[in-house]
Amino acid sequence: MADGVTDLAFLLKEMRPELSTYRYAFTVSDSAPSNAFAVIREDEGLTVIAPSETGEWARISLSVHSSLSAVGLSAAMAKALADKHISCNIVAGYHHDHLFVPWPRRHDAMAALATLSETAA
């Protein structure tokens, strides 16, 4: 399963979200710090996602190894969170998806994802 899972029902049922204990910040920078979780190169500069004591975002990582070509996983998670009025920024890695949600709503987001997983077909 080197390329990951594409079956949406399996992905939802087995997503096993894990909440990081660190706060994260999104910043624009000329260079990436060594502790950066993700760096996105845009025309306007580098967007850096990194741990920060004053960060306003929590990171939730899915344990399931989703394929980059899986269809519907991001949409299902976004809808579950939107239904609870929780904003979400999704970053896809090769092995896992990572959701950044507002720090104060992190436990609400975990509950919404648990409900989504429990009700998956």
Q: Which of 98, 22, 10 is nearest to 62 (CA)?
A: 98
Taking phi first (over 0 means left), then psi (-120 to 50 degrees means alpha), and beta for anything else, what does residue 35 get?
Answer: alpha
Q: What is the pLDDT of residues 62-119, one digit of tens each?
A: 998 888 888 888 999 999 999 999 999 999 998 899 999 999 999 999 999 999 999 8
Q: How confident is the model at residue 121 (pLDDT cuts 50, 70, 90)?
A: low
- Does a structural domain hold residue 40? no
* Residue 2 in this model has a pLDDT that exceeds 60: no
Task: For residue 63, give its domain range.
Answer: 8-23+56-118
Residue identified by tokens 């994802």 is: 113
- Does a structural domain hold residue 38? no
Q: What is the pLDDT of residues 8-23, one digit of tens each?
A: 888 889 899 999 999 9
- Does a structural domain hold residue 34? no
- Does a structural domain hold residue 67? yes
Q: Distance between CA 113 and CA 107 in Å, rounded?
A: 10
Indicate the number of domains in the chain. Answer: 1
Q: Phi first, then psi: give them for residue 20, nearest 5 degrees.
A: -70, 150
CATH number assigned to the domain comprising residue 13: 3.30.2130.10
Q: How confident is the model at residue 32 (pLDDT cuts 50, 70, 90)?
A: confident
- Does a structural domain hold residue 72? yes
- Does a structural domain hold residue 2? no
Q: What is the pLDDT of residue 9?
A: 86
Residue identified by tokens 């809808």 is: 79
- Does a structural domain hold residue 41? no
**Total Cβ atoms within 10 A of residue 67:** 18
